[in-house]
Every structure is written in structure tokens, then in C-alpha cells.
Amino acid sequence: MPRHTAIVTGGTRGIGRGIAEVLAAENYTVIAGYGGNDQAAAEFTKETGIPTRKWDVADFQACQNAVASIEADFGPVTVLINNAGITRDATIKKLSYENWMAVIQTNLTSVFNMTKAVWDGMVAENFGRIVNISSINGQAGQYGQVNYCAAKAGVIGMTKALALEGARYNITANTVAPGYVATDMVAAVPERVLEKIVSTVPVGRLGDPAEIARAVYFLVRDDSNFVTGSTISINGGQHMY
Ligand code: CAA
């Protein structure tokens, strides 16, 4: 299999870290992007040997610059995993415009920003793999997450349009919609709320990042060209869609 250069945004922690590790183990050249936590990024590189780059995925120009610099160092980016995301949970009554915008920009506009930055290169290579990480909450809704659910549902629609546009260039675009996975993001949910949520998961536990990462690897493989525009839900049976 030819060696591909893969960007995983939000790749130093949580689900992104799991994806970065699985792709690196499968012989991809992986660059993990991150937004703020320098210490976690340094530990990640120390433990995995995977290089990191810091930029804000919500910033269009920063994405252009990051991809240009990664391509200069590692060659054309043929695999893009749009994983970076944040939560700013609050009911609509308390949700501020700033926290609406922060989640839309970081979780949805980022997918546009990063895809724009790699698209022409993928077309030139006549090959590309884009996997966008959505969420069960974009499919089912979640109390206190009007912003997050809107962004994550938006990702699913965007992926389908990209699949249509990419097909003629051997660029596939797919969505993975994880349920509740053991990450820092989920750990921030108040304990009593999380207990209630886990009690509704038939498998009876949180997911492991590696369980999401293995599906991402399946989607990016060279021989997965017929899999495009799909949404793979991985949620322990919590929501069957
Ligand atoms: N359904 C119905 N009612 C609910 C509810 C639910 N799921 N959750 C809370 N409520 C009710 C409460 O029972 C409470 O009602 P009473 O006052 O009558 O008892 C009322 O709503 C207010 O609840 P809180 O006390 O929790 O209110 P709050 O303002 O302090 O917090 C909240 C609201 C921020 C939404 C908080 O409940 C919360 O953090 N919920 C978790 C949201 C969540 O699951 N986020 C997922 C983050 S992880 C992630 O997003 C990753 C992924 O992709 C899966």
C-alpha cells in the first residue's frame, strides 16, 4: 500500500488520538493537529512519536497555512480526518450567542476550512479520503446541546455533498458518528447526568477511542473506494439510525 500523509485534527487527545495511533500503526504518515493544550501534545508525541502542529481549525487562513506547511514537510495530504471539536453545553434559555458561534465555528466551519485546504491537492492526486467525526447527538438530539447538535447534524449533510463532488476524483467522504466515548469531553459531563446516559446504552459502558478509530481506518483504506457518503454509527446500540 502506498504511504499516505494523513492529518487528524484534534489528534492529540480522545478519539482523535485513537485515530492517529491506529493510522500510524497502519503505516500512514500522521500529523496530529491541536488547538491549545501544549502539554498534552508534547506528551502525545513523546509517547507515540507522532508529530503535532498547532492551529485553530475555526480560522480559515490558519488552516490554509497549516496544510501548506505540512505538505511542504510531508508531501500531499491524501487523508483528512476532521475530528476536532468542543462543547459549550447549555439549554437554549442560557446559551449565549458566543457559545452558539464557538461551537458552530469549531465543529462545523472547521470541516469546510480544512476540506478547502486539502481539496485541490486531493484532486491533483486523483485520490482522497475525508472522514468527518459527527456524533450520536447530531442524529438523535441532546438536551442542552442545541449548538453541538446543529453542528454535528450539519457535518453529516456536508459529508454527503462532498461525496457527490469527490466521486469523480476518487475522493471519498464519510461520516463516523460516535456515541459516548471515554474522553476528556465526556468526562466533563456532570457525573449524575452521565450515569443516566450510560444507563441507556445497551452495551452498558462508554466506548473506547480505538473502537471508533478502527472504523475510520476501514474508511480511509485504498480498497474502500466504494464506501462514500455513508454514516457509520458506533454507539453501543444507544441510537439505531
Ligand atoms: N432530558 C430531560 N430533562 C433533562 C435532561 C434530559 N436529558 N437533562 C436535564 N434535564 C432537566 C433536569 O432534570 C432539570 O430539571 P428539574 O429542574 O426539573 O430537575 C433541568 O433539566 C435542568 O437540569 P440541570 O440541573 O442539569 O441544568 P443545568 O442548567 O445545570 O445544566 C446542562 C444543563 C448543561 C444541559 C447539563 O444537564 C448537562 O451538562 N447535560 C449533559 C449534556 C450532554 O450530554 N452533553 C454531551 C457532552 S459529550 C459530547 O457531546 C460527546 C458526544 O458527541 C456524545
Looking at residue 3, its pLDDT comes to: 80
Residue 14 counted as domain residue? yes
* Residue-range definition of the domain harbouring residue 116: 5-233
Asked whether 190 lines ligand 1 (CB < 6 A), one says yes
Looking at residue 196, its pLDDT comes to: 96
**What is the domain-level CATH number for residue 84?**
3.40.50.720
Contact criterion met (CB below 8 Å) for 5 and 69: no
Residue 158 counted as domain residue? yes
Q: Which of 28, 34, 148, 180 is catalytic?
A: 148
pLDDT tens digits for range 171-191: 999 999 999 999 999 999 999
Asked whether 193 lines ligand 1 (CB < 6 A), one says yes
Residue 137 counted as domain residue? yes
Looking at residue 87, its pLDDT comes to: 98
Regions in the chain scoring below 50 on pLDDT: 1
Asked whether 201 lines ligand 1 (CB < 6 A), one says no
Looking at residue 241, its pLDDT comes to: 76
The number of folded domains in the chain is 1
Residue 21 counted as domain residue? yes
Nearest CA to ligand 1 atom 42: 144
Compute the C-alpha angle 212/218/224, nearest 5°.
150
Q: What is the mean pLDDT of the chain?
A: 97
148 catalytic? Reply is: yes
Residue 18 counted as domain residue? yes
Residue 241 counted as domain residue? no
**pTM for the whole thing?**
0.96
Looking at residue 51, its pLDDT comes to: 98
